[in-house]
Amino acid sequence: MCLFIFHFPADALHLRDTASLAFLLAADTLIYPAAMTLGGMLQGLALGYAIIPRSRVYSSSVAVIGGEMLVSGVGRFLSMPRSRACL
């Protein structure tokens, strides 16, 4: 996605060098809050309405701890080397 932002829209808008960097940072400024807000909304929906009573799997503890495990253990851990490998 970063490459998509950095190359194709910048080329289409005839942005060169520093302008494309500013475009990339502007896109980051929009993408980060949107992604984080989406995650927060879905977490709230899950904790509010997806918890099944007396269930050991679909519980609030598993939701919070499993979510943090997937975020840090899968998303952040694997995404960085994969992104660098793509470049």
Partner 1 sequence: MVGVLMAYPLTQGRWNQRCLKNVLTRGCSAVFVVTLFVLAVACYDSRRDPQPPVNPHVIRLTAILSCQFIAGASQGLVVACTRLMLNRVTPPKSQVTMAIITVVLACTGTGLGPMLSNGVRQGLVWASAPAAPDELTALGSTSPGAVNSVSLAVLAFLSALWLAAFALVTPGTNDGVPIPLGSVRGPSSQPQLGEAFLPVETDAEAAQKEALQKKLFVTYLTVQTERAWLVSGLEVVTAMVMEEEFEISHREIGLAVWGPASSSRRRSWFSARSPRRSQIHRRC
Residues near partner 1 (CB under 8 A): 1-3, 6-7, 17-22, 24-26, 28-29, 31-33, 35-54, 58, 60-61, 63-80, 82-84, 86-87
Burial status of residue 51 (CB atoms within 10 A of its CB: 0-12, 13-18, 19 or more) = middle
Q: Are 87 and 81 in contact (CB under 8 A)?
A: no
| CB of 55 vs partner 1, minimal distance in Å | 8
Residue 73 Cβ vs partner 1, minimum distance, rounded to whole Å: 5
User: In the bound complex, what is the minimum distance in angstroms from residue 9's beta carbon to partner 1?
Assistant: 14
Rounded to whole angstroms, what are the CA distances from 84 to 2, 65, 81? 11, 28, 5
